[in-house]
């Protein structure tokens, strides 16, 4: 059985990931500074990831809770700009991620999947995207401290993989994470195309996000790679091509878009990881 640690396991995305991995036969070691009493994980350990010693222990062995890991899924972070000060976001997120990457190296773990973010694509697109649909094909454009950290983490992963050639690190650039309860708000987005233009009207159902994590864990490769992870459709009932033309006139649309097709391209995740979203707010 594969034993995998999930950091941020009590969070919005983490709870789906823990549940999904346990369902698919993984033994999950949940790591978070806030316990989740309803966790589906086999093992839960409270840990502050900004403390390097705690992270080394948590990823190596913790008494009778676990005696080693095959993989790490790192999701823990302050998950958006503006939730606290920029300095606090920077300090928590970069320190936690360095500690997880470095402790995994110390523990000899060769399979790491972590949460990057759609924000590195240039959200909120006050500067228009270079083309639509956006994808992994242009350099990162962080526009906030939160996103800057995500960009630095991708760069950090590049060097960890250079130092350890057997290592695989996959960064998943998740869109805005949604639970099924959130879908009640979606019809209201339709009235004003400006409301959700900041992420090109995309979203990710937490359950599909969890699928992407599992596909990334199971993908056989070495080195670093990044993937945009969104649902197949937009949050809007208007046609994607019409939204792009109205809100971003002059931005090249590089191919014909399906009626409600996501403008955060998931082509690479589909092709390389076999990711295929199963859920939609449309039911």
Ligand X SMILES: NC(=O)c1ccc[n+]([C@@H]2O[C@H](COP(=O)([O-])OP(=O)(O)OC[C@H]3O[C@@H](n4cnc5c(N)ncnc54)[C@H](O)[C@@H]3O)[C@@H](O)[C@H]2O)c1
Closest CA to 245 of 138, 132, 136: 132
Interface with ligand X, residue 14, by CB under 6 A: yes
Residue selected from 4, 30, 96, 266 as contacting ligand X according to rule CB under 6 A: 96
In a 3-state reduction of DSSP, which class is residue 194? coil
Nearer to ligand X, 111 or 116 (CB): 116
Contact range with ligand X by CB under 6 A, out of 31-39, 135-143, 230-238, 271-279: 31-39
Looking at residue 66, the DSSP 8-state letter turns out to be: B
For the stretch 177-214, what's the b/e string if a residue is b when 16 or more beta carbons lie within 10 angstroms of its beta carbon? bbeeebbeebeebeeeeeebbebbbbbbbbbbbbbbbb
Interface with ligand X, residue 275, by CB under 6 A: no
d(Cα 115, Cα 254) in Å, to the nearest integer?
Answer: 27
Residue selected from 4, 5, 11, 147 as contacting ligand X according to rule CB under 6 A: 11
Report in angstroms the alpha-carbon separations of 251 from 116, 127, 134, 233, 248: 25, 11, 11, 20, 6
Closest approach of Cβ 69 to ligand X, in Å?
16
Q: Which residues pair with 29 in a beta bridge?
A: 5, 43
- Spell out, one character per residue from 161 to 180, where the chain touches ligand X: x when CB under 6 A holds, - when not: -------------x-xx---
Q: Which residue lies nearest ligand X, judged by its C-beta?
A: 11
Residue selected from 2, 3, 27, 33 as contacting ligand X according to rule CB under 6 A: 33
How many other C-beta atoms are found inside a 10 Å radius of the C-beta of residue 159? 11
Sequence-distant (≥ 6) Cβ neighbours of residue 120 within 8 angstroms: 140, 141, 142, 147, 150, 151, 154, 173
Interface with ligand X, residue 76, by CB under 6 A: yes
Report whether 75 contacts 6 (CB < 8 A): yes
Interface with ligand X, residue 13, by CB under 6 A: yes
Closest approach of Cβ 178 to ligand X, in Å?
8
Contact range with ligand X by CB under 6 A, out of 10-18, 61-69, 152-160, 253-261: 10-18
Interface with ligand X, residue 92, by CB under 6 A: yes
Which parts of 103-122 interact with ligand X (CB under 6 A)? 115, 117-118
Nearer to ligand X, 47 or 167 (CB): 47
Interface with ligand X, residue 248, by CB under 6 A: no
Closest approach of Cβ 179 to ligand X, in Å?
10
Closest CA to 47 of 60, 242, 38: 60
Which parts of 46-65 interact with ligand X (CB under 6 A)? 47-50
Interface with ligand X, residue 149, by CB under 6 A: no
Q: Which spans of this chain sit near ligand X (rule: CB under 6 A)? A: 8, 10-14, 32-34, 47-50, 75-77, 79, 92, 96, 115, 117-118, 174, 176-177
């Amino acid at each position: 059985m594969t034993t995998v640690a999930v950091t941020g396991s009590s969070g919005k995305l983490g709870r789906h990931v823990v549940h999904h991995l346990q369902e698919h036969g993984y033994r999950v070691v949940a790591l978070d500074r806030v316990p989740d009493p309803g966790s589906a994980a086999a093992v839960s350990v409270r840990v502050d990831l900004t403390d390097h010693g705690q992270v080394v222990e948590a990823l190596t062995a913790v008494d009778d809770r676990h005696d080693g890991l095959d993989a790490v899924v790192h999701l823990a972070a302050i998950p958006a700009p503006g939730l606290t000060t920029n300095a606090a976001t920077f300090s928590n997120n970069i320190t936690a991620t360095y500690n997880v990457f470095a402790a995994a190296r110390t523990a000899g773990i060769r399979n790491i999947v972590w949460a990057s973010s759609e924000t590195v694509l240039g959200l909120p697109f006050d500067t228009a995207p270079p083309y639509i649909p956006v994808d992994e094909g242009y350099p990162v454009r962080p526009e906030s401290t939160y996103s800057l950290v995500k960009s630095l983490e991708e760069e950090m992963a590049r060097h960890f993989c250079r130092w350890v050639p057997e290592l695989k690190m996959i960064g998943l650039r998740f869109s805005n994470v949604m639970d099924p309860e959130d879908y009640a708000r979606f019809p209201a987005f339709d009235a004003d195309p400006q409301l959700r233009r900041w992420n090109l009207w995309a979203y990710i159902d937490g359950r599909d996000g969890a699928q992407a994590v599992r596909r990334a864990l199971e993908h056989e490769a070495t080195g670093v790679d990044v993937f945009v992870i969104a649902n197949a459709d937009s949050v809007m009932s208007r046609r994607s091509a019409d939204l792009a033309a109205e809100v971003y006139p002059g931005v090249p649309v590089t191919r014909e878009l399906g009626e409600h097709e996501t403008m955060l391209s998931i082509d690479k995740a589909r092709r390389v990881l076999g990711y295929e979203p199963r859920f939609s707010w449309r039911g």
